Structure 1
Amino acid sequence: MSKTTMTPPLFFITLPALFVVLVSAHHGVRAPLFRALRSPFFYVEVGIGSPPVYVKLVFDTASTTTWTQCAACNTCFPVAIPPFDPKFSSTYRRLPENHPLCRGGYGTEHSGKFCNFTMEYIDGQLIRGQLSLDTFVLGSSKHKVPDFVFGCGLDDKNVLDFLNDTHNPISGVFGIGMNDPTSILYQLSSFTELKFSYCLPLRVYEENDHQHHHHAWLHFGKEAEIKSHDGVVVQITPLLAGRWDDNTYYAKLNAISVNGLFLPIDPIVFTRGNGVGVVLDSGTPYTMFVEEAYTPIREAVVKHFLEKYGWEAMKTSGSGNFDLCYKMVHRPAIGDVEFPELKFHFEGEAVMELIRDAVFQAFGHPMNEFCLMIQSSLSDNLLGAFQMVNQRMLFDVGASKLSFVPQSC
């Protein structure tokens, strides 16, 4: 896996801000949300076409165009499930070049009478194909949306991050970013009401697991609301936006504490790279901080294990992607280890306390080690999916509020 994945595209589709696709009002709309087997990605299962073909798309709060690899792809990546084939959908059609979602965008390209798209991600993934219209099914057949605009990927290069083998279930991206009418949030605004909430599950589900129905849910509109429970209070912080052409969600992070002690990090460091705040990105597996923030975190964790157990960090790790790991051989079971308590302190006195399994992960045989699942970054600070597990997150774009509360997903 590369170090940056599913971050905001380098080419944006910029369109009239007031355009939406109207559908009949639905309340309590939701869609199933899963964690992929043997993968750090979370996906939403949706249906496309008539009859619907169900595809699994990375749940991505940091991009807007929804796309899936299609059957006629010239450059393809491995997917375990059959791809969407427009030839077998009675409601499929190409997006005409005079459609409001095909005007004036850097990511759109005219081809005769129709509209194509290009999405280039910071980690090198390059997706090209046809912008298309078809029936979109969220959650169940009760929530069918006609003429949903999505990308049919035909030239899909450098897609290595989902899981580069035949077991990969993921065929594209479910884009729910802001400030772009191609986003699901805006296309389906009559029932999303510009708000959604989710709780990423800790458990990994297999395709034929008998508990497959115990997935988590992505909620829209009124059903997205969250409440305090059992004495646990909902935390609220402003939901920030960047420039008009930036589809990224941000939050202002003021401080990080480990075991109740605030780390020596200037708050201005958390705005590095964008001038706004920490990127909220469910499509990137792991949280990343620039060196000035990452180093104090790492040093605090090293100090904790050295003082508590006399453990020293490994010089090299079998995991490959993580900088701070410890051997588990001849040591207490992972459940008996006292781990450091890590908290993120946001604007408005909102505090996110991360559970152990959102900070560390054990790797079994042959590595027999556990690692800090936070990475260093050369440019941005980013809150990734792994650190969001077992938190109910509410994005209320209309009210510019981010709310979260611990929840077993």
Structure 2
Amino acid sequence: MQIRVQQSQARVQHFSDMLSSTFHPNGSEYSLQQDTIPVPAIKRIPTAFMLVEVGIGTFDNNAYKSYLLVMDTGSTLVWTQCEDCKVPPEGRCYPQKEDYFPSSKSKSYIPSKPQSFYNEIYGEGSYSYGLYSKETFTFPSTSLSSPPSKFPNIVFGCGTNNRNVWAKDNTFLIAGIFGMGVGKNSFVYQIKKQIGGRFSYCFVRDDVENPPPMYLRFGTNIKPPQNPKTLKFQKNAETYYAVNMIDIGVNGERLHLSKSQMFSPDSKVKGLIIDSGAEFTHMHKEAYDVVVSKMDKYFSEHKGEFTKENLGNGLFCYSRIKGEKYNNIPGVTFYFEGGVQLDIIPEGTFQRKIGPGTKEIFCLMFFPTQLKVNILGAFQQVNFKFIYNINDMTLQFGREDCAKNG
């Protein structure tokens, strides 16, 4: 199930302008020194999706074309829509702001021979079908002191039959997926030696005014958070970064859920998947029902302050007439083996909207899943620094004010 959150058109235009001009002078070949890799900027569109600006191809004057791809730790393949695409009814691709990638004009494009095709299907109904290829990928520099760096011969998908259910608000900024999951075709696995097997990010809360840039960091350009905690990824999770989850809590109180409540009996992943490519967190329905019941009890105990709202679309919402922002709003905790816990802050648990007059409405951004797996989405990852180590398959994380993580 895919839940979208509408935002103002003014903000839509702001993020549209963040994509730099179509063609760019390219940088030098990559170096094995990890700290020579530029730090790519992460950009938030008017949903909870996080995008990375990536340069693809080599054109006249050693230029490349820029695209915004969903930063996805929940899948492996990097793909973008290619020049053979047409929108319905003539074709089977979705509209996007930038021109489809002109693979035939790129000097560094290498199609697979013999031709080999991929077919990626995503849980919320999106998919991509096309040709496995190789291409030069470039990270634009975020500072004048470091030039862009390019990575040749990156395996990616040149999509010609694609469905996008992520952005239907006429922005069409998403040109594809930047797969960073577990597997040889994942971008981070392809540049594993150059980045020392490590990458990191820190998402800023969406209610921060004039938010600063966010960054995708590699290798030696990563500083650990204060009071870091470390978890091992499950070995049997295939393409996913999944950690062992043993319980869930609401407002600091453990719910003491059983395994049958937390996991579908036929689920392949008995854990919590850390997925930057999912907008919001999804839970096994039995666990979700217990969480909602506990939330209902919490709000009912504050009689006279909160009123339950029925906004439809399966949203769980309460309102109040006080402008206190997130004060007195509960959070959710995930408990893991070894006494480690992840305390989701109220700003990552509920989304706050201003209703008629002075009414403020809080909607729970957790949803029951039909995918038979538990997923920690991007909205719930705000104000935490996550460091992935694909050498020893560990996740290090810690609380951090990501607006100050410049």
Picking from 249, 263, 280, the partner of 1:257 is 249
Deviations 1:235-261 (A, max 9, x none): 112222325xx2111011122222332
Matches of 1:25 and 1:305 in 2, distance apart? 54
Distance 1:204 1:132, change over 3 A: farther
Q: Distance in 2 between matches of 1:336 and 1:47?
A: 39
Tell me the TM-score normalized by structure 2: 0.81
- Counterpart selection for 1:195 from 195, 198, 216: 198
Q: Counterpart of 2:94?
A: 77
Are the equivalent residues in 2 in contact too, given 1:334–1:362 (CA < 8 A)? no
Matches within 5 A, 1:127-142: 127-140=128-141, 141-142=147-148
Change in Cα spacing, 1:268 to 1:192, as seen in structure 2 (3 Å) is: farther
Residue correspondence of structure 1 range 145-224 to structure 2 within 5 A? 145-157=151-163, 159-161=164-166, 163-178=167-182, 180-203=183-206, 214-224=212-222
Distance 1:275 1:136, change over 3 A: closer
Aligned to 1:67: 79
In the TM superposition, what is the alpha-carbon distance from 1:53 to its structure 2 partner? Answer: 0.7
Tell me if the contact between 1:131 and 1:150 (Cα under 8 Å) persists in the aligned partners. Answer: yes
Runs of 4 or more consecutive aligned structure 1 residues displaced over 6 Å after TM superposition: none
1:203 Cα offset (Å): 3.5
2:294 is equivalent to residue 300 of structure 1? yes
Aligned equivalent of 2:275: 281
CA separation of 1:336/1:397 partners in 2, compared to 1, >3 Å: closer, same or farther? Answer: closer
- Kindly indicate whether residue 92 of structure 2 is the aligned counterpart of residue 91 of structure 1: no
1:45 and 2:53 matched = yes
Q: CA offset at residue 348 of structure 1?
A: 2.0
Which deviations, in whole Å up to 9, do the C-alpha atoms of 1:286-344 show, x marking residues without a partner?
11111221122111211111112343422x315x252x11234xx11141641113222
Q: Letter of the aligned partner of 1:266 in structure 2?
A: S
Matched, 1:54 2:66: yes
In the alignment, which residue of structure 2 is the partner of 1:364? 354
- Residue type of the partner of 2:196? E
Rounded to whole Å, the distance in 1 between the matches of 2:360 and 2:109 is 50
CA distance in 1 between partners of 2:360 and 2:161 (Å): 39
- 1:174 is paired with a residue whose SS is strand
User: 3-state DSSP class of the match of 2:173?
Assistant: coil
C-alpha displacement of 1:225: 4.5
Secondary structure, counterpart of 1:348 in structure 2: helix
Compared CA separation, residues 309 and 139, structure 1 to 2 (3 A): farther
Aligned to 2:383: 390
Partner of 1:143: 149
Aligned to 2:365: 373
Secondary structure, aligned partner of 2:325 = helix
Query: Which amino acid counterpart does residue 169 of structure 1 have in structure 2?
Result: L
Q: List runs of 5+ in structure 1 lacking aligned partners.
A: 5-21, 98-113
Question: Quick check: 1:327 aligned with 2:327?
Answer: no
The SS at the match of 1:403 is strand
Query: Identity of paired residues, percent?
Result: 28
| Farther off after superposition, 387-396 or 114-123 | 114-123
Q: Any conservation in 1 of the 2:225–2:397 contact (CA below 8 Å)?
A: no
Q: 1:177 to 1:33 in 2, by over 3 A?
A: same
Taking only aligned residues, the RMSD between alpha carbons, in angstroms, comes to 2.5
Q: State how many pairs are aligned.
A: 356
C-alpha distance 365-227 of structure 1, shift in aligned 2 (>3 A): closer
User: Counterparts of 1:254 and 1:355 in 2: how far apart (Å)?
Assistant: 19
